[in-house]
Amino acid sequence: MAKGTLIAAMKIGRAAEDEFHDWYDTEHLPERQRVPGFLLCQRWIGAQDRTVSVATYDLSAAAVLKTPAYLAIGGDNLSPWSKRVTERVERLIRFEGDQILPGEALPPANAGGLLLNAMNIAPELEAEFNEWYDKEHIPALAAVPGVLCARRFRGTGNRKYVALYHLETPDVVESEEWKKARQSDWTSRLQPQFRDHLRLVLRRYVRGG
């Protein structure tokens, strides 16, 4: 069974920043860390915009999100604090899916940066899109100095595909090596066909930092 992921990206919006982080750190994230099948839970904030918040949860399988242990803390069973905070935020993406590349690899725990790319693609281009991503794009970017891990996911939500790149620092995506790795005729042909593209450059969240 493929490993799964849950990704929640939002802007703090009308929530107070100090309360938002207190809620995430003391209630929301710990609740999920206690659910069997949640393997690695990490928080990130925008490298340039600290009102952007992303949480990535690596799961033993996407089916963990259907278990009684998770359902007891999600959906209609959110705590009053969770309901109050989440009513004030601006949701960017909630993604649930399966890891499709590479295998069952988990990310490093010590990454200083993260790039999230989420998108849809026209059905008639989907086969070529996946071939490009798996055979050219991910291998090229994974080889860039400072890239610790590159993975792809397919799932549900307002985007079907997500790629996550764990980085030594967010600045890796500004390097000449990264820019060169992104350039190819195949890339130039397919990228204009992305739909609902969401790109977030993030740094590791450090409480009080």
Q: What is the 3-state secondary structure (H, E, C) of 129-160?
A: HHHHHHHHHHHHHHCCCCEEEEEEEEEECCCC
CATH T-level assignment (fold) for domain 4-204? Alpha-Beta Plaits (3.30.70)
Tokens of 124: 């008639």
Average pLDDT by stretches of 10, the chain with 209 residues: 90 96 97 97 97 97 97 95 97 96 88 98 96 97 97 93 98 98 96 96 92
Spatial separation of the C-alpha atoms in residues 82 and 58, rounded to whole Å: 21
CA 144 to chain CA mean position, Å: 20
Which residues on adjacent β-strands are paired with residue 77?
none
pLDDT value at position 209? 72
The domain limits of the chain are 4-204
> If DSSP codes are grouped into helix, strand and coil, which group holds residue 203?
strand
Counting other chains too, the contacts that 25-33 makes at CB distance below 8 Å and 24 or more residues apart are 25/207, 27/79, 27/81, 27/82, 28/82, 29/55, 31/73, 32/57, 32/70, 32/73
Total count of residues recorded for the chain: 209
pLDDT value at position 1? 58
pLDDT value at position 103? 80
Contact 189, 39 (CB under 8 A): no
List strand residue ranges (DSSP E) for the chain, in order.
Answer: 4-11, 38-46, 52-59, 90-101, 113-121, 147-156, 161-167, 194-204
Which pTM does this prediction carry?
0.96
Q: How far is CA 120 from CA 48, 103, 117, 191, in A?
A: 25, 22, 10, 11
Q: Pairing between strand 38-46 and 161-167?
A: unpaired
